[in-house]
Structure 1
Amino acid sequence: MIHDAARPFFPAGRLKEALDNMGKMDVDGLAPALVSTDTLVEVDNGQIISFPDRHRIYHTQTPQIFIYEKIMSAYEKFRENLNDQPFTDDLSLAHSAGLRCGLIEGSQMNFKITTESDWVLAEQLLKSGGLDFT
């Protein structure tokens, strides 16, 4: 399991569900994800070039879970030029290395804390006691 501190609100009870799904889905790795609810645009040099189908676009989250030997093999494949690759997370590296990857349902509460407004929201959630980590 690969996780980051920027997403502290992953419900711990979902971990067993994720591990069970790995076997059922016959995948080497998986991640929680949310289908996009926003209209997305692809832009080049300030100009809109396309509107991807948002029903085919997902926001991936962590933790990302892999069969240990498989993810280590994926990292080994790109070891020499890892910094030259466009990978934004472990799932993108795994997919590029040919691993079979899948998605499970993510959680809106598992948001990434990267901006000041994210931090304020996280503090309010903690103060409210409205989080269930089970």
Structure 2
Amino acid sequence: MKSWVIVPAAGAGKRFSLEARKQYAKFLDMTVLEYTLKRLLAIDHIKIVVAVSPEDKAWRQLAIFKNTSIEVIFGGKERADSVLLALEHIKDEAKMNDWVLVHDGVRPCVKVADIINLMDQLSSHAIGGILAVPVVATIKRATSKAEIKATEDRSRLWEAQTPQMFRFSLLLEGLRQASRANWQPTDESAAIENLGHMPRIIEGSHDNIKITRREDIVIAEAIALCQQEWS
């Protein structure tokens, strides 16, 4: 059974910068996307499909894309569109029960050990699951006027991360259904949940942050350097 990794990297990253895509921001001695892909390439027996914007030419300048385990396709306007296009791209080669891992191109600090644990813990699972961490902050529910309405019980709240790992046929069905309904799930788990399934949570690490704003680069670089020291 083959494992596929889909990396949606077609976003414009408007909260990060109006001039540049965050996946190509300088990150230590490479770009964010290169660092992320380098982590993923440490996993054995996988095929990586990276979805980029049709207008994006920057990826062609990166040496990592010469790796034969990486294939590039054109993605869509939204994350779910890009993942669905990648699934449609591999459908003639992928088997129904193949595992598909979807990982944000801007999560460069994901630990290889956490990915391997996710794959091991879910190896015999019928559906799949996600990396996530317990919510540690106090969460407030607010009104439209930014007035606090309630304090949430965080004991059962988890912050979803990636990779998210599901059976190929289920993920394809979930995202096709979302597309037909003109609904944009914010992650793959939501599409699976919408089919009536209950994915598993595998606890990850709080340092698996997603780069959203420019200041996140500095935080992620510090995490990556600490991870190098601890390894």
Report the TM-score when normalising by structure 2.
0.51
Q: Which has the higher contact order (CA 8 A, sep 6+)?
A: 1
- Tell me the distance in 2 between the aligned counterparts of 1:56 and 1:114: 25
Task: Kindly indicate which of the two structures has a greater share of residues assigned to strand.
Answer: 2
Q: Tell whether the 8 Å contact from 2:207 to 2:223 is kept in structure 1 after alignment.
A: no
Shift of 1:14: 2.3
Report the TM-score when normalising by structure 1.
0.84
- Tell me the distance in 1 between the aligned counterparts of 2:189 and 2:123: 17
Query: What residue identity is the alignment partner of 1:116?
Result: R
Query: What residue identity is the alignment partner of 1:73?
Result: E
- Tell me the distance in 1 between the aligned counterparts of 2:150 and 2:209: 27
Aligned length in residues: 129
Structure 2: give runs of 5+ residues left out of the alignment: 1-100
- Tell me the distance in 2 between the aligned counterparts of 1:79 and 1:124: 38
| CA-atom RMSD in angstroms | 2.1
Q: Tell whether the 8 Å contact from 2:129 to 2:202 is kept in structure 1 after alignment.
A: yes
Q: Deviations over 1:19-66 (max 9, x none)?
A: 221146x35121111111111011122222221111111101001000
- Tell me the distance in 1 between the aligned counterparts of 2:114 and 2:188: 19
1:110 aligns with 2:208: yes
What secondary structure, in the 3-state scheme, does the structure 2 residue paired with 1:64 have?
strand
Mapping of residues 1-134 of structure 1, within 5 Å: 1-23=101-123, 26-45=125-144, 46-82=146-182, 84-85=183-184, 87-126=185-224, 129-132=225-228
Deviates more, 1:117-126 or 1:93-102: 117-126
Structure 1: give runs of 5+ residues left out of the alignment: none
Q: Tell whether the 8 Å contact from 1:31 to 1:104 is kept in structure 2 after alignment.
A: yes
Shift of 1:81: 2.5
